[in-house]
Each structure stands twice: as C-alpha cells, then as structure tokens.
Amino acid sequence: MENVSSLSKFWKNKKVFITGHTGFKGSWLVIILNFLGAKIYGYSLKPLKKSLFNMAECKKLVTKSFYHDIKNKKKLEIAIKKSKPDVIFHFAAQSLVKKSYEKPYETFSTNILGTLNLLEVARQTKSLNSLVIATTDKVYENNNRNKAYNEKDKLGGTDPYSSSKVCKEILTKSFIDTFFNFERLKFKVSSVRSGNVIGGGDFAKDRLLPDVINSLNSKKKLILRNPDHIRPWQHVIEPIYGYLLLSKLHFKKNIYNKNYSWNFGPDKKNFVKVIDIVRKIKKKKKIKIEIKKLKKIKESKTLKLNNSKSKKILKWHPRLNIDKSINMVLEWNDLIKYKKAKELCVNQIKKYFSK
C-alpha cells in the first residue's frame, strides 16, 4: 500500500475535475484529494442542505465549483475548458435504486446523457491524462448465483438504476474502442465498479447505513426491505483509494489491459446479509427493527464482486473488514456532535493510511 507521502507527491497540485462533487462519495473524494494537495474543481447540482459537502465545508476545499446539471453539455464544456484538468472523476449520477422506479426518465437521462456529454467533452480536453467513470457493482447480469462477478462477466440490468449504469458502461467502451484507442487518451479511460459503500456523512434515503443512523438518532424503528440480501459492503475510503491508484496508472506509458473496467470490492468476509449488519450494530446500539418488503421493487438477492484484477495489477487491497467499517460509521455519527465533519473525515483518512 502506498503511504501518504508517496500519494501526495503524485497528487500535489494536480488539477482534478470531479462531477458530482457535492454528493456523498464526491465529498469524500474532495476531502481526500485536498488532504493530498490537489487542486480541485467540481461540477454538480447545488448540495442538499443536510449533506457532507456542507457539514465538512467542502466549498472551501474546492478551487472552483460549477453548479449546473450534468445534462447541460454547453455548461459542462465551459467548466472543463476553464479548469484545464489533468484528471476527471465522473461521479454525477442518479444513484438510488428506489428513486429509479419513481423517476425512471430522470435516472436514464442523467446517467446516460450526462456520461455522453462528459465523454464527448473529454475528447476535446488536451490537458487530460486520466478519466475515471464510476458505475456500480449492479451492472452485472445477476442470476442470484453464489459467485463473485469479475470484469469479464456479462453485463445486464433490469431495474432502471442498474440498466442506466450498464448503458454508461456501453457508452464508455464505445468511446474507448471508437475514439480513445486512436487518440492521445489511449489507455487513460476506465470505468470503476465498487461495492456497497458506507461511511460517515451519508444521508441518502433507502440505503442501509443512513437508515440505521437516522433510526438511532430519531429513536424510531428501522425499516428493512430485504433482510436476507447479501451485498459486498465496504467503507467509502477503500474504493476511492483504488480510484486514485488507477488514475495514477493512467499517467504511465505503455500500460494496456483489454478490459477497461475495474472492480473495487471487499474481500469475501465482507459479503454479508443485511440483517447481519444490523445485528452487529444492535450489539453496540439499541435499535428496533421492522421488516417491510416493497413488492414493486425487485433487487438481486445476492451480489458479490471479484477484486482479483485490482489486487494483481494495482496492488490495491481492502484493509477494513466489515466490523471496522461499521465502527467507523458509528464513531463518525457519535463524534459529529462534538467535532467538525472535515476533522472527523481527515482523522479517519489518516488512520486508514497509517495502518
């Protein structure tokens, strides 16, 4: 594992453009890159009032924020042209499964048109040396087999969320095969698929840990949709560290891998049922549970990722087991009453890289 000194040496003063920088994962990336000395530019909708971006005062960490819709190609083009980035991380998306059922048009248009806009603008950006496009662990054709999917497995999605993310993957591969492999961005564009990320400052509805935190803080019942579903749980710092390593790889010459995509999922011990996550939390906190399945929303019962490729090529290895990851979320929630959000995040980042 690279230490902070090595990472800082590479990232210091790098101009990094992040779409979706006001979201949960985007805010963590902002904090980590600021910690490493990068110059950060962000393009996103304005942050929600209750958000990690606001709580951690991420506005002060960003050189320039452009608050526009990712579907607005003209605004995106202007923002990237002004920023002249070395690296782009594309996080902007409609990222909730339940919302994709409620607003399918918004989900497809944001995730597909937004990615198309970014890929097209990236082609014209001469300063760019790395483009990392985040999709999801749900892009694989899932028949609920008890296997961990690798990057060569067939893609496929049924619900609007996963289907739209598969479209992002197809778009990315199309641009790589049609344009980037014959232009200066050859070997510098990748998609990344992470597990079910958890971490302090996530306030999204209908995600397990935010629902748990909300239940603890409000002393209300925790509603579980699918208690027996298995997911690849990981702390948000883990995949972001992988993204940083991958982007760094893009700067090296003569690097080629036929499969442009990368899994950043946890090891097998973190493939855990929803109900088992809650049971672990119940050992530490008092919480009441109610199971209430949503009939109209179908989700795969089992989802696992194979992380062998990232381990082998990038030397990336998950460092946090499920118990440590959960403890970090609970600790963050307990301490936010006494300390600032940015301080809490930076302390957890320092501990992660010091192990």
Question: Tens digits of per-residue pLDDT, 114-131?
Answer: 999 999 999 999 999 999
Contact 84, 127 (CB under 8 A): yes
Residue 169: which domain range?
A: 4-199+233-269+305-331+340-354
The pLDDT score that the predictor gives to residue 61 is 98
Mean pLDDT of all residues in 74-81: 98
User: Where residue 15 sits, what CATH number does that domain have?
Assistant: 3.40.50.720
Torsion angle, alpha carbons of 249, 18, 106, 52, to 10: 120
In a domain, 218, yes or no: no
Question: Tens digits of per-residue pLDDT, 296-307?
Answer: 777 788 999 999
Contact 52, 202 (CB under 8 A): yes
Mean pLDDT of all residues in 224-229: 90
Mean pLDDT of all residues in 247-257: 78
Give the residue from 19, 186, 45, 42 showing the smallest Cα distance to 117: 19
In a domain, 227, yes or no: no
Tokens of 120: 């097209």
Q: What is the CA radius of gyration of the chain?
A: 19
* 353 to 36, 113, 307, 330: CA distances (angstroms): 12, 36, 20, 20
Pairing of strands 130-134, 87-90: parallel
Classify the C-alpha dihedral 323-97-49-116 as positive or negative.
positive
In a domain, 80, yes or no: yes
In a domain, 347, yes or no: yes
The pLDDT score that the predictor gives to residue 255 is 61
Question: 3-state class of 241 per DSSP?
Answer: helix
The pLDDT score that the predictor gives to residue 298 is 78
Q: What is the mean pLDDT of the chain?
A: 93
In a domain, 105, yes or no: yes
Type of residue numbered 296: K
- Count of domains forming the chain: 1
The pLDDT score that the predictor gives to residue 299 is 79
Choice between 146 and 170, residue whose per-residue pLDDT is larger: 170
In a domain, 290, yes or no: no
Percent of the chain scored above 90 by pLDDT? 83
The pLDDT score that the predictor gives to residue 256 is 58
Tokens of 230: 């298995």
In a domain, 221, yes or no: no
In a domain, 223, yes or no: no
Q: Is the pLDDT of residue 355 over 80?
A: no
Choice between 153 and 253, residue whose per-residue pLDDT is larger: 153
Range list of β-strands (E), the chain: 15-19, 39-44, 64-67, 87-90, 130-134, 189-194, 196-198, 222-224, 230-235, 261-264, 271-273, 289-291
Q: Is the pLDDT of residue 316 over 90?
A: yes
Type of residue numbered 8: S
Question: 3-state class of 53 per DSSP?
Answer: helix
Q: What is the pTM of this model?
A: 0.96
Residue 214 CB contacts under 8 Å (≥ 6 apart), including other chains: 203, 220
Helix or strand (DSSP H, E) at 123: helix 114-123
CB burial of 279-311 (b: ≥16 within 10 Å; e: otherwise) equals: eebeeeeebeeeeeeeeeeebbebbbbbbebbe
